[in-house]
Amino acid sequence: MARYIFITGGVVSSLGKGLASAALGALLQARGYSVRLRKLDPYLNVDPGTMSPFEHGEVFVTDDGAETDLDLGHYERFTGVSARKTDSISSGRIYSNVLEKERRGDYLGKTIQVVPHVTNEIKDFLRIGESECDFMLCEIGGTVGDIEGLPFFEAIRQFIHERPRGECILMHLTLLPYLAASGELKTKPTQHSVKELQSIGLAPDVLVCRSEHPIPERELEKIALFCNVRKQAVVPAYDLKTIYEAPLAYHRAGLDQAVLNAFGIEPAPKPNLARWEDVMDRITNPEGEVRVAIVGKYTQLEDAYKSIAEALTHGGMANRVKVRAEWINSEIFEKEDPAPHLERFQAILVPGGFGERGTEGKIKAAQYAREKGIPYLGICLGMQMAVIEAARNLAGLSDAGSEEFDHEAGAKRFTPVVYHLKEWVQGNHVVARKLGDDKGGTMRLGAYDAALVPGSKVAEIYGSTRIEERHRHRYEVDTQFKAQLESCGLIFSGMSPDGRLPEIVEVKGHPWYIGVQFHPELKSKPFAPHPLFASFVEAAVGVSRLV
Protein backbone atom coordinates (compact mmCIF):
# COMPACT_ATOMS: atom_id res chain seq x y z
CA MET A 1 0.00 0.00 0.00
CA ALA A 2 1.14 3.54 -0.71
CA ARG A 3 2.60 5.80 1.92
CA TYR A 4 0.87 9.19 1.95
CA ILE A 5 2.47 12.63 1.99
CA PHE A 6 0.00 15.49 2.53
CA ILE A 7 1.28 18.90 1.42
CA THR A 8 -0.36 22.00 2.94
CA GLY A 9 0.42 25.70 2.87
CA GLY A 10 0.23 28.56 5.33
CA VAL A 11 0.67 32.34 5.72
CA VAL A 12 0.01 33.19 2.06
CA SER A 13 -1.03 31.40 -1.13
CA SER A 14 1.16 30.95 -4.24
CA LEU A 15 4.15 29.83 -2.19
CA GLY A 16 4.93 27.02 -4.63
CA LYS A 17 3.25 23.99 -3.05
CA GLY A 18 2.68 22.51 -6.51
CA LEU A 19 6.33 22.94 -7.46
CA ALA A 20 7.55 21.56 -4.12
CA SER A 21 5.23 18.56 -4.50
CA ALA A 22 6.43 17.92 -8.07
CA ALA A 23 10.10 18.28 -7.08
CA LEU A 24 9.65 15.91 -4.13
CA GLY A 25 7.97 13.40 -6.45
CA ALA A 26 10.96 13.63 -8.82
CA LEU A 27 13.40 13.12 -5.93
CA LEU A 28 11.55 10.04 -4.67
CA GLN A 29 11.64 8.66 -8.23
CA ALA A 30 15.40 9.34 -8.32
CA ARG A 31 15.67 7.05 -5.29
CA GLY A 32 13.83 4.27 -7.13
CA TYR A 33 10.29 4.75 -5.78
CA SER A 34 7.09 5.00 -7.79
CA VAL A 35 4.88 8.03 -7.14
CA ARG A 36 1.50 9.53 -7.96
CA LEU A 37 0.53 13.13 -7.25
CA ARG A 38 -2.92 14.50 -6.47
CA LYS A 39 -4.48 17.95 -6.06
CA LEU A 40 -7.37 18.71 -3.70
CA ASP A 41 -8.82 22.15 -4.41
CA PRO A 42 -11.19 23.77 -1.90
CA TYR A 43 -13.05 26.00 -4.41
CA LEU A 44 -16.71 25.21 -5.17
CA ASN A 45 -16.34 25.01 -8.95
CA VAL A 46 -16.76 21.40 -10.06
CA ASP A 47 -13.51 21.80 -12.03
CA PRO A 48 -11.47 24.71 -13.47
CA GLY A 49 -12.84 24.12 -16.99
CA THR A 50 -15.27 27.06 -16.94
CA MET A 51 -13.02 29.42 -14.98
CA SER A 52 -11.41 32.42 -16.67
CA PRO A 53 -7.68 32.05 -17.44
CA PHE A 54 -7.23 35.41 -15.66
CA GLU A 55 -8.86 33.88 -12.58
CA HIS A 56 -7.12 30.53 -12.47
CA GLY A 57 -4.43 30.27 -15.13
CA GLU A 58 -4.48 27.53 -17.73
CA VAL A 59 -6.64 24.43 -17.62
CA PHE A 60 -4.51 21.29 -17.76
CA VAL A 61 -6.20 18.39 -19.59
CA THR A 62 -5.43 14.74 -18.82
CA ASP A 63 -5.40 11.81 -21.26
CA ASP A 64 -8.75 10.61 -19.91
CA GLY A 65 -10.39 13.99 -20.45
CA ALA A 66 -10.35 15.72 -17.06
CA GLU A 67 -10.03 19.52 -16.91
CA THR A 68 -7.72 20.15 -13.98
CA ASP A 69 -5.56 22.64 -12.12
CA LEU A 70 -2.29 23.75 -13.74
CA ASP A 71 -0.36 22.14 -10.86
CA LEU A 72 -1.06 18.77 -12.49
CA GLY A 73 1.04 20.07 -15.37
CA HIS A 74 3.95 20.53 -12.95
CA TYR A 75 3.39 17.01 -11.62
CA GLU A 76 3.58 15.50 -15.12
CA ARG A 77 6.53 17.62 -16.25
CA PHE A 78 8.62 16.66 -13.20
CA THR A 79 7.71 12.98 -12.85
CA GLY A 80 6.59 11.87 -16.31
CA VAL A 81 3.59 10.14 -14.67
CA SER A 82 0.45 10.82 -16.73
CA ALA A 83 -2.26 12.38 -14.56
CA ARG A 84 -5.79 10.95 -14.49
CA LYS A 85 -9.29 12.15 -13.61
CA THR A 86 -8.79 10.62 -10.20
CA ASP A 87 -5.81 12.89 -9.48
CA SER A 88 -7.83 16.10 -9.17
CA ILE A 89 -10.83 16.92 -7.00
CA SER A 90 -12.56 20.09 -5.84
CA SER A 91 -15.05 20.89 -3.08
CA GLY A 92 -17.59 21.38 -5.85
CA ARG A 93 -17.07 17.83 -7.14
CA ILE A 94 -17.13 16.38 -3.60
CA TYR A 95 -20.39 18.15 -2.70
CA SER A 96 -21.85 17.26 -6.10
CA ASN A 97 -21.07 13.56 -5.51
CA VAL A 98 -22.57 13.66 -2.02
CA LEU A 99 -25.76 15.35 -3.23
CA GLU A 100 -26.15 12.89 -6.12
CA LYS A 101 -25.91 10.02 -3.64
CA GLU A 102 -28.46 11.70 -1.38
CA ARG A 103 -30.89 12.14 -4.29
CA ARG A 104 -30.49 8.45 -5.20
CA GLY A 105 -31.24 7.46 -1.62
CA ASP A 106 -27.79 5.96 -0.97
CA TYR A 107 -27.73 7.42 2.54
CA LEU A 108 -31.04 5.72 3.48
CA GLY A 109 -32.68 8.93 4.64
CA LYS A 110 -29.90 10.04 7.01
CA THR A 111 -29.24 13.72 7.67
CA ILE A 112 -26.33 14.70 5.38
CA GLN A 113 -23.48 16.45 7.19
CA VAL A 114 -19.92 17.57 6.53
CA VAL A 115 -18.78 14.95 9.04
CA PRO A 116 -19.04 12.11 8.17
CA HIS A 117 -20.53 12.29 4.66
CA VAL A 118 -18.34 14.94 3.01
CA THR A 119 -15.18 13.81 4.80
CA ASN A 120 -15.89 10.17 3.88
CA GLU A 121 -16.21 11.19 0.22
CA ILE A 122 -12.81 12.91 0.43
CA LYS A 123 -11.23 9.85 2.08
CA ASP A 124 -12.69 7.57 -0.61
CA PHE A 125 -11.05 9.82 -3.21
CA LEU A 126 -7.68 9.59 -1.41
CA ARG A 127 -7.78 5.78 -1.47
CA ILE A 128 -8.22 5.45 -5.24
CA GLY A 129 -5.23 3.62 -6.74
CA GLU A 130 -3.35 3.39 -3.44
CA SER A 131 -1.94 -0.03 -4.35
CA GLU A 132 -0.36 1.27 -7.58
CA CYS A 133 2.55 3.28 -6.18
CA ASP A 134 5.02 3.55 -3.30
CA PHE A 135 4.17 7.17 -2.42
CA MET A 136 0.96 9.13 -2.90
CA LEU A 137 1.57 12.89 -2.69
CA CYS A 138 -1.62 14.89 -2.01
CA GLU A 139 -1.49 18.67 -2.24
CA ILE A 140 -4.27 20.69 -0.61
CA GLY A 141 -4.92 24.00 -2.35
CA GLY A 142 -5.23 27.31 -0.51
CA THR A 143 -3.89 27.94 2.99
CA VAL A 144 -4.60 26.46 6.39
CA GLY A 145 -7.46 28.32 8.07
CA ASP A 146 -9.43 28.94 4.84
CA ILE A 147 -13.06 28.16 5.59
CA GLU A 148 -13.43 26.23 2.29
CA GLY A 149 -10.49 23.98 3.16
CA LEU A 150 -11.72 22.84 6.59
CA PRO A 151 -13.50 19.67 5.33
CA PHE A 152 -10.27 18.60 3.59
CA PHE A 153 -8.14 19.15 6.68
CA GLU A 154 -10.66 17.26 8.81
CA ALA A 155 -10.72 14.39 6.29
CA ILE A 156 -6.91 14.23 6.35
CA ARG A 157 -6.90 14.21 10.16
CA GLN A 158 -9.29 11.25 10.15
CA PHE A 159 -7.41 9.49 7.35
CA ILE A 160 -4.05 9.73 9.16
CA HIS A 161 -5.53 8.30 12.39
CA GLU A 162 -7.25 5.45 10.55
CA ARG A 163 -4.02 4.27 8.89
CA PRO A 164 -1.29 2.30 10.66
CA ARG A 165 1.27 4.54 12.35
CA GLY A 166 4.07 5.65 10.01
CA GLU A 167 2.09 5.44 6.76
CA CYS A 168 1.25 9.16 6.52
CA ILE A 169 3.21 12.36 7.04
CA LEU A 170 2.35 16.03 6.71
CA MET A 171 4.58 18.54 4.90
CA HIS A 172 3.74 22.20 5.49
CA LEU A 173 4.98 25.16 3.41
CA THR A 174 5.18 28.58 5.02
CA LEU A 175 6.66 32.00 4.30
CA LEU A 176 9.40 33.71 6.30
CA PRO A 177 8.87 37.40 5.49
CA TYR A 178 11.84 39.76 5.59
CA LEU A 179 11.44 43.16 7.24
CA ALA A 180 13.88 45.54 5.58
CA ALA A 181 13.42 48.17 8.30
CA SER A 182 14.79 45.84 10.97
CA GLY A 183 16.86 43.65 8.65
CA GLU A 184 15.23 40.52 10.06
CA LEU A 185 13.50 37.39 8.90
CA LYS A 186 10.35 36.89 10.96
CA THR A 187 9.39 33.38 12.10
CA LYS A 188 6.17 34.35 13.88
CA PRO A 189 3.90 33.89 10.80
CA THR A 190 5.24 30.33 10.46
CA GLN A 191 4.63 29.69 14.15
CA HIS A 192 1.04 30.92 13.86
CA SER A 193 0.47 28.85 10.72
CA VAL A 194 1.63 25.68 12.50
CA LYS A 195 -0.47 26.58 15.55
CA GLU A 196 -3.50 26.85 13.23
CA LEU A 197 -2.75 23.39 11.89
CA GLN A 198 -2.36 21.99 15.39
CA SER A 199 -5.70 23.51 16.44
CA ILE A 200 -7.47 21.23 13.93
CA GLY A 201 -5.57 18.14 15.04
CA LEU A 202 -2.72 18.13 12.51
CA ALA A 203 0.99 18.42 13.20
CA PRO A 204 3.61 18.85 10.47
CA ASP A 205 6.42 16.31 10.20
CA VAL A 206 8.37 18.42 7.69
CA LEU A 207 8.40 22.22 7.39
CA VAL A 208 9.45 23.90 4.14
CA CYS A 209 10.21 27.57 4.73
CA ARG A 210 10.14 29.87 1.71
CA SER A 211 12.41 32.88 1.93
CA GLU A 212 14.03 35.46 -0.33
CA HIS A 213 16.97 35.71 2.07
CA PRO A 214 19.28 33.08 3.63
CA ILE A 215 17.76 31.66 6.83
CA PRO A 216 20.32 31.76 9.68
CA GLU A 217 20.92 28.57 11.65
CA ARG A 218 19.50 30.13 14.82
CA GLU A 219 16.21 30.87 13.03
CA LEU A 220 15.95 27.26 11.82
CA GLU A 221 16.52 26.11 15.40
CA LYS A 222 13.88 28.55 16.65
CA ILE A 223 11.32 27.30 14.11
CA ALA A 224 12.05 23.67 15.06
CA LEU A 225 11.66 24.45 18.78
CA PHE A 226 8.43 26.45 18.56
CA CYS A 227 6.80 24.32 15.87
CA ASN A 228 7.63 20.97 17.47
CA VAL A 229 9.55 19.72 14.42
CA ARG A 230 13.04 18.17 14.30
CA LYS A 231 15.62 20.69 13.11
CA GLN A 232 16.66 18.38 10.25
CA ALA A 233 13.04 18.50 9.07
CA VAL A 234 13.01 22.31 8.75
CA VAL A 235 13.93 22.77 5.08
CA PRO A 236 14.81 26.20 3.65
CA ALA A 237 13.47 26.95 0.17
CA TYR A 238 14.87 29.93 -1.73
CA ASP A 239 13.90 31.61 -5.01
CA LEU A 240 15.40 29.88 -8.04
CA LYS A 241 16.44 31.09 -11.50
CA THR A 242 14.42 28.28 -13.10
CA ILE A 243 11.78 25.91 -11.73
CA TYR A 244 13.80 22.97 -13.09
CA GLU A 245 16.47 23.65 -10.48
CA ALA A 246 13.92 22.71 -7.79
CA PRO A 247 14.71 18.96 -7.53
CA LEU A 248 18.45 19.60 -7.12
CA ALA A 249 17.89 22.58 -4.79
CA TYR A 250 15.46 20.68 -2.57
CA HIS A 251 17.83 17.72 -2.50
CA ARG A 252 20.71 19.98 -1.39
CA ALA A 253 18.42 21.39 1.31
CA GLY A 254 17.63 17.85 2.51
CA LEU A 255 13.91 17.65 1.69
CA ASP A 256 13.83 14.08 0.36
CA GLN A 257 16.00 12.85 3.26
CA ALA A 258 13.74 14.61 5.80
CA VAL A 259 10.67 12.95 4.26
CA LEU A 260 12.25 9.48 4.28
CA ASN A 261 13.42 10.02 7.88
CA ALA A 262 9.86 10.95 8.85
CA PHE A 263 8.71 7.59 7.47
CA GLY A 264 11.55 5.80 9.26
CA ILE A 265 13.03 4.54 5.99
CA GLU A 266 16.68 3.89 6.89
CA PRO A 267 18.99 3.42 5.18
CA ALA A 268 17.34 5.16 2.24
CA PRO A 269 18.31 4.28 -1.36
CA LYS A 270 20.80 6.74 -2.81
CA PRO A 271 19.36 9.09 -5.47
CA ASN A 272 20.36 9.08 -9.13
CA LEU A 273 20.05 12.74 -10.14
CA ALA A 274 21.73 12.46 -13.57
CA ARG A 275 18.47 13.33 -15.36
CA TRP A 276 18.13 16.63 -13.48
CA GLU A 277 21.83 17.46 -13.75
CA ASP A 278 21.49 17.12 -17.55
CA VAL A 279 18.34 19.30 -17.51
CA MET A 280 20.17 22.01 -15.57
CA ASP A 281 23.22 21.78 -17.84
CA ARG A 282 21.03 22.38 -20.91
CA ILE A 283 19.26 25.34 -19.31
CA THR A 284 22.31 27.06 -17.84
CA ASN A 285 24.71 26.50 -20.75
CA PRO A 286 22.81 27.46 -23.92
CA GLU A 287 24.74 27.88 -27.16
CA GLY A 288 22.49 30.59 -28.58
CA GLU A 289 19.17 32.38 -28.24
CA VAL A 290 15.96 32.65 -30.24
CA ARG A 291 13.01 35.01 -29.82
CA VAL A 292 9.48 33.65 -30.13
CA ALA A 293 6.37 35.85 -30.24
CA ILE A 294 3.31 34.36 -28.52
CA VAL A 295 0.36 36.23 -30.00
CA GLY A 296 -2.68 35.71 -27.77
CA LYS A 297 -5.31 37.49 -25.74
CA TYR A 298 -4.61 36.30 -22.18
CA THR A 299 -1.16 37.89 -22.19
CA GLN A 300 -1.64 39.79 -18.91
CA LEU A 301 -1.31 36.51 -16.99
CA GLU A 302 1.50 34.24 -18.17
CA ASP A 303 0.02 31.32 -16.19
CA ALA A 304 -2.79 31.31 -18.78
CA TYR A 305 -0.24 29.78 -21.20
CA LYS A 306 1.92 28.00 -18.61
CA SER A 307 2.36 24.71 -20.48
CA ILE A 308 3.20 26.53 -23.73
CA ALA A 309 5.90 28.58 -22.01
CA GLU A 310 7.39 25.44 -20.48
CA ALA A 311 7.18 23.45 -23.74
CA LEU A 312 9.09 26.24 -25.51
CA THR A 313 11.75 26.04 -22.80
CA HIS A 314 11.94 22.27 -23.38
CA GLY A 315 12.25 22.86 -27.13
CA GLY A 316 15.14 25.19 -26.40
CA MET A 317 16.80 22.56 -24.21
CA ALA A 318 16.50 20.01 -27.03
CA ASN A 319 18.44 22.44 -29.26
CA ARG A 320 20.73 23.81 -26.51
CA VAL A 321 19.43 27.36 -26.99
CA LYS A 322 17.62 29.80 -24.74
CA VAL A 323 14.09 30.59 -25.91
CA ARG A 324 13.10 34.15 -25.11
CA ALA A 325 9.31 34.12 -25.38
CA GLU A 326 7.51 37.46 -25.56
CA TRP A 327 3.76 37.86 -25.05
CA ILE A 328 1.97 40.12 -27.52
CA ASN A 329 -1.70 41.06 -27.22
CA SER A 330 -3.27 40.11 -30.55
CA GLU A 331 -5.73 43.03 -30.34
CA ILE A 332 -2.83 45.40 -31.16
CA PHE A 333 -2.72 44.01 -34.70
CA GLU A 334 -6.37 44.93 -35.27
CA LYS A 335 -5.30 48.60 -35.17
CA GLU A 336 -1.65 48.45 -36.24
CA ASP A 337 0.51 46.76 -38.88
CA PRO A 338 1.98 43.58 -37.29
CA ALA A 339 5.31 43.87 -39.16
CA PRO A 340 7.07 46.36 -36.81
CA HIS A 341 6.04 44.22 -33.84
CA LEU A 342 6.97 40.84 -35.32
CA GLU A 343 10.03 41.45 -37.49
CA ARG A 344 12.44 41.04 -34.54
CA PHE A 345 11.23 37.49 -33.81
CA GLN A 346 12.49 34.22 -35.30
CA ALA A 347 9.18 32.38 -34.80
CA ILE A 348 5.50 33.06 -34.07
CA LEU A 349 3.15 30.97 -31.95
CA VAL A 350 -0.62 31.53 -31.74
CA PRO A 351 -2.12 29.60 -28.81
CA GLY A 352 -5.66 28.46 -28.04
CA GLY A 353 -8.46 30.57 -26.62
CA PHE A 354 -12.18 31.18 -26.68
CA GLY A 355 -14.31 33.96 -28.15
CA GLU A 356 -13.90 36.42 -31.00
CA ARG A 357 -11.96 39.14 -29.20
CA GLY A 358 -8.45 39.41 -30.62
CA THR A 359 -8.95 36.85 -33.40
CA GLU A 360 -8.50 39.28 -36.32
CA GLY A 361 -5.08 40.11 -34.87
CA LYS A 362 -4.21 36.43 -34.68
CA ILE A 363 -5.23 36.02 -38.33
CA LYS A 364 -2.87 38.87 -39.26
CA ALA A 365 -0.05 37.22 -37.31
CA ALA A 366 -0.66 33.95 -39.19
CA GLN A 367 -0.64 35.84 -42.51
CA TYR A 368 2.62 37.61 -41.64
CA ALA A 369 4.30 34.29 -40.77
CA ARG A 370 3.05 32.61 -43.95
CA GLU A 371 4.07 35.42 -46.29
CA LYS A 372 7.45 36.13 -44.67
CA GLY A 373 8.50 32.47 -44.33
CA ILE A 374 8.69 32.73 -40.52
CA PRO A 375 8.18 29.48 -38.52
CA TYR A 376 4.58 29.40 -37.29
CA LEU A 377 2.91 27.09 -34.78
CA GLY A 378 -0.86 27.44 -34.33
CA ILE A 379 -2.39 25.53 -31.45
CA CYS A 380 -6.16 24.81 -31.31
CA LEU A 381 -7.67 28.24 -32.08
CA GLY A 382 -4.26 29.12 -33.56
CA MET A 383 -4.77 26.38 -36.19
CA GLN A 384 -8.29 27.63 -36.92
CA MET A 385 -6.95 31.17 -37.43
CA ALA A 386 -4.38 29.81 -39.91
CA VAL A 387 -7.16 28.03 -41.83
CA ILE A 388 -9.36 31.17 -41.89
CA GLU A 389 -6.38 33.24 -43.06
CA ALA A 390 -5.66 30.80 -45.90
CA ALA A 391 -9.36 30.65 -46.84
CA ARG A 392 -9.54 34.45 -47.07
CA ASN A 393 -6.22 35.20 -48.71
CA LEU A 394 -5.49 32.09 -50.80
CA ALA A 395 -8.85 30.46 -51.54
CA GLY A 396 -10.78 33.68 -52.15
CA LEU A 397 -13.35 33.20 -49.35
CA SER A 398 -13.16 36.80 -48.17
CA ASP A 399 -15.84 36.31 -45.52
CA ALA A 400 -14.37 33.09 -44.05
CA GLY A 401 -14.72 32.82 -40.31
CA SER A 402 -15.89 30.64 -37.44
CA GLU A 403 -19.36 29.66 -36.29
CA GLU A 404 -18.10 30.38 -32.77
CA PHE A 405 -17.93 34.10 -33.52
CA ASP A 406 -21.38 34.15 -35.16
CA HIS A 407 -22.85 32.30 -32.17
CA GLU A 408 -21.23 34.81 -29.83
CA ALA A 409 -22.52 37.81 -31.83
CA GLY A 410 -25.96 36.30 -32.44
CA ALA A 411 -25.75 37.12 -36.16
CA LYS A 412 -24.51 35.31 -39.28
CA ARG A 413 -21.57 37.23 -40.70
CA PHE A 414 -19.10 34.57 -41.92
CA THR A 415 -18.81 31.61 -44.24
CA PRO A 416 -18.08 29.06 -41.50
CA VAL A 417 -14.88 27.21 -42.38
CA VAL A 418 -14.84 26.39 -38.65
CA TYR A 419 -18.06 24.91 -37.24
CA HIS A 420 -19.53 23.74 -33.93
CA LEU A 421 -18.61 20.08 -33.46
CA LYS A 422 -21.82 18.13 -32.94
CA GLU A 423 -20.52 14.55 -32.78
CA TRP A 424 -17.30 12.60 -32.81
CA VAL A 425 -16.03 9.10 -32.12
CA GLN A 426 -14.51 8.38 -28.72
CA GLY A 427 -13.29 4.82 -28.33
CA ASN A 428 -16.17 2.57 -29.42
CA HIS A 429 -19.01 5.06 -29.19
CA VAL A 430 -20.22 8.31 -30.72
CA VAL A 431 -20.33 11.45 -28.54
CA ALA A 432 -23.10 13.95 -29.41
CA ARG A 433 -23.21 17.60 -28.38
CA LYS A 434 -25.71 20.43 -28.88
CA LEU A 435 -24.94 24.14 -28.92
CA GLY A 436 -27.14 24.73 -25.87
CA ASP A 437 -25.43 22.08 -23.70
CA ASP A 438 -23.86 23.06 -20.38
CA LYS A 439 -20.38 24.52 -20.86
CA GLY A 440 -18.56 22.44 -18.23
CA GLY A 441 -16.93 19.23 -19.45
CA THR A 442 -18.77 19.18 -22.80
CA MET A 443 -15.86 19.81 -25.17
CA ARG A 444 -13.86 17.21 -27.06
CA LEU A 445 -11.54 16.46 -24.17
CA GLY A 446 -8.58 14.16 -23.63
CA ALA A 447 -6.36 11.96 -25.80
CA TYR A 448 -7.38 11.00 -29.36
CA ASP A 449 -5.50 9.27 -32.18
CA ALA A 450 -4.57 11.00 -35.42
CA ALA A 451 -3.38 9.55 -38.73
CA LEU A 452 -0.60 11.55 -40.44
CA VAL A 453 -0.01 11.75 -44.19
CA PRO A 454 3.17 9.81 -45.09
CA GLY A 455 5.90 12.14 -46.29
CA SER A 456 4.34 15.21 -44.62
CA LYS A 457 6.33 17.59 -42.46
CA VAL A 458 4.56 16.41 -39.29
CA ALA A 459 5.11 12.72 -40.11
CA GLU A 460 8.82 13.52 -40.44
CA ILE A 461 8.82 15.43 -37.11
CA TYR A 462 7.01 12.70 -35.18
CA GLY A 463 8.81 9.87 -36.96
CA SER A 464 5.45 8.12 -37.24
CA THR A 465 2.14 8.25 -39.11
CA ARG A 466 0.09 7.46 -35.99
CA ILE A 467 0.05 9.77 -32.96
CA GLU A 468 -2.05 10.39 -29.85
CA GLU A 469 -2.54 13.92 -28.50
CA ARG A 470 -4.79 15.73 -26.01
CA HIS A 471 -7.70 17.92 -27.09
CA ARG A 472 -9.82 20.67 -25.56
CA HIS A 473 -12.18 22.33 -28.03
CA ARG A 474 -15.76 22.43 -29.26
CA TYR A 475 -15.22 23.95 -32.74
CA GLU A 476 -13.56 22.16 -35.64
CA VAL A 477 -12.32 22.96 -39.17
CA ASP A 478 -14.94 21.90 -41.76
CA THR A 479 -13.66 19.23 -44.17
CA GLN A 480 -15.98 20.44 -46.96
CA PHE A 481 -13.34 23.13 -47.64
CA LYS A 482 -10.45 20.63 -47.60
CA ALA A 483 -10.02 20.19 -51.37
CA GLN A 484 -10.33 23.94 -52.01
CA LEU A 485 -7.71 24.80 -49.38
CA GLU A 486 -5.33 22.02 -50.40
CA SER A 487 -5.40 23.25 -54.00
CA CYS A 488 -4.08 26.56 -52.62
CA GLY A 489 -1.22 24.93 -50.67
CA LEU A 490 -2.74 24.39 -47.19
CA ILE A 491 -2.32 20.64 -46.70
CA PHE A 492 -4.44 18.66 -44.24
CA SER A 493 -1.56 16.46 -43.06
CA GLY A 494 -3.26 14.92 -40.03
CA MET A 495 -6.83 13.60 -39.69
CA SER A 496 -8.83 11.63 -37.14
CA PRO A 497 -8.68 7.88 -37.91
CA ASP A 498 -12.18 7.99 -39.45
CA GLY A 499 -11.09 10.85 -41.75
CA ARG A 500 -13.84 13.21 -40.53
CA LEU A 501 -11.94 15.65 -38.30
CA PRO A 502 -8.85 17.67 -39.34
CA GLU A 503 -6.08 17.44 -36.76
CA ILE A 504 -3.10 19.11 -38.47
CA VAL A 505 -2.56 21.53 -41.35
CA GLU A 506 0.71 22.69 -42.90
CA VAL A 507 1.63 25.08 -45.70
CA LYS A 508 3.28 23.41 -48.68
CA GLY A 509 6.68 24.88 -49.52
CA HIS A 510 6.92 26.92 -46.29
CA PRO A 511 10.03 26.29 -44.14
CA TRP A 512 7.89 25.53 -41.05
CA TYR A 513 4.18 26.41 -40.87
CA ILE A 514 2.02 24.00 -38.86
CA GLY A 515 -1.36 24.26 -37.15
CA VAL A 516 -2.60 21.57 -34.77
CA GLN A 517 -6.12 21.18 -33.34
CA PHE A 518 -4.77 19.49 -30.19
CA HIS A 519 -2.52 20.75 -27.38
CA PRO A 520 0.98 19.26 -27.78
CA GLU A 521 2.33 21.44 -24.96
CA LEU A 522 0.50 19.29 -22.39
CA LYS A 523 2.77 16.30 -23.05
CA SER A 524 6.14 18.06 -23.14
CA LYS A 525 8.68 17.44 -20.37
CA PRO A 526 12.15 18.88 -19.67
CA PHE A 527 13.75 15.44 -20.05
CA ALA A 528 11.49 14.54 -23.04
CA PRO A 529 10.71 17.68 -25.09
CA HIS A 530 7.69 17.37 -27.37
CA PRO A 531 8.87 16.72 -30.97
CA LEU A 532 6.74 19.58 -32.39
CA PHE A 533 8.26 22.13 -30.00
CA ALA A 534 11.78 20.76 -30.50
CA SER A 535 11.36 21.05 -34.29
CA PHE A 536 9.69 24.49 -34.03
CA VAL A 537 12.60 25.88 -32.01
CA GLU A 538 15.08 24.21 -34.37
CA ALA A 539 13.41 26.06 -37.27
CA ALA A 540 13.67 29.32 -35.29
CA VAL A 541 17.39 28.65 -34.76
CA GLY A 542 17.72 28.31 -38.54
CA VAL A 543 16.11 31.72 -39.03
CA SER A 544 18.35 33.33 -36.38
CA ARG A 545 21.43 32.08 -38.23
CA LEU A 546 20.21 33.64 -41.47
CA VAL A 547 19.81 37.06 -39.90
Per residue in 215-259, pLDDT (tens digit) is: 999 999 999 999 999 999 999 999 999 999 999 999 999 999 999
pLDDT for the residue numbered 3: 96
Nearest to 232 by CA among 206, 194, 203: 206
Query: Distance between CA atoms of 307 and 524, rounded to whole angstroms?
Result: 8
Q: Is 543 helix (H, G, I), strand (E, B) or coil?
A: helix
519 a catalytic residue: yes
Share of the chain above pLDDT 90, in %: 76
Higher pLDDT, 442 or 168: 168
Q: Is 355 left (phi over 0), alpha (psi -120 to 50) or beta?
A: left
Query: Distance between CA atoms of 534 and 316, rounded to whole angstroms?
Result: 7
Cβ atoms of 255 and 248 closer than 8 Å: no
Pick the catalytic residue: 133, 168, 227, 380?
380
521 a catalytic residue: yes
Q: Is 103 helix (H, G, I), strand (E, B) or coil?
A: helix
221 a catalytic residue: no
**Is 14 annotated as contributing to ligand binding?**
yes
pLDDT tens digits, 116-142: 999 999 999 999 999 999 999 999 999
Pick the catalytic residue: 74, 172, 314, 519?
519
pLDDT for 425 beyond 80: no
Give the mean model confidence (pLDDT) for residues 264-282.
95
Calculate the average pLDDT of the chain: 91
pLDDT for 300 beyond 70: no
**Is 353 annotated as contributing to ligand binding?**
yes
**Is 71 annotated as contributing to ligand binding?**
yes
Give the mean model confidence (pLDDT) for residues 516-541.
97
pLDDT tens digits, 171-182: 999 999 988 888
pLDDT for 151 beyond 80: yes
**Is 164 annotated as contributing to ligand binding?**
no
Provide the pLDDT confidence category of residue 375 given band limits of 50, 70 and 90.
very high
**Is 113 annotated as contributing to ligand binding?**
no
Share of the chain above pLDDT 70, in %: 95
Query: Distance between CA atoms of 198 and 205, rounded to whole angstroms?
Result: 12
pLDDT for 301 beyond 80: no
Pick the catalytic residue: 67, 360, 503, 521?
521
